[in-house]
Amino acid sequence: MRALIQRVSDASVTVDGRVTGQIGPGLLVLVCAMQGDDAATAEKLAARVARLRIFRDEGGKMNRSVLDTGGEALVVSQFTLAADTRSGNRPGFSSAAAPELGEALYQAFAGALGDLGIPVAMGEFGADMQVALTNSGPVAIWLDSADRS
């Protein structure tokens, strides 16, 4: 799985004019399931996201996790994180998981974050979404489960 994590002051996602998810301080997590991923992959990535120390401590250093700060997470599915741009001008997405598996792993990832004690809001899988955020820092971190065993 791949995730783009942004530290935010606030974030929301809107579908067809209605807000489906909204958070205050915490993380906006754009997530994509890849071919070969499974529920264990989703759980491991959720644990990495939950423990990622990208919030400032009392000394101003990025030394605290969303768990440490009591922050929230807005989880949004984004298959375009699977983009292959190695050739041509049109990205390919063939390495993304099939939609049925992608949705199941998206739900599993969000559920695993919630199981760790993080309040989770969500987008709507497969929908045309508008995502609004205030990136704090700015801080944006890319994680790929294939980069770590």
Contact 7, 136 (CB under 8 A): yes
Active site residue 125: no
User: CB under 8 Å to 10, separation ≥6 — which residues?
Assistant: 22, 23, 24, 25, 133, 134
As a whole number of angstroms, the distance between CA 79 and CA 57 comes to 33
Calculate the dihedral angle through the C-alpha atoms of 135, 140, 144, 149, rounding to the nearest 10 degrees: -110
Catalytic residue among 6, 41, 79, 109: 79
Catalytic residue among 6, 55, 78, 109: 78
Active site residue 55: no
Active site residue 80: yes
Catalytic residue among 35, 80, 130, 134: 80
- Which residues does the annotation mark as catalytic? 78-80
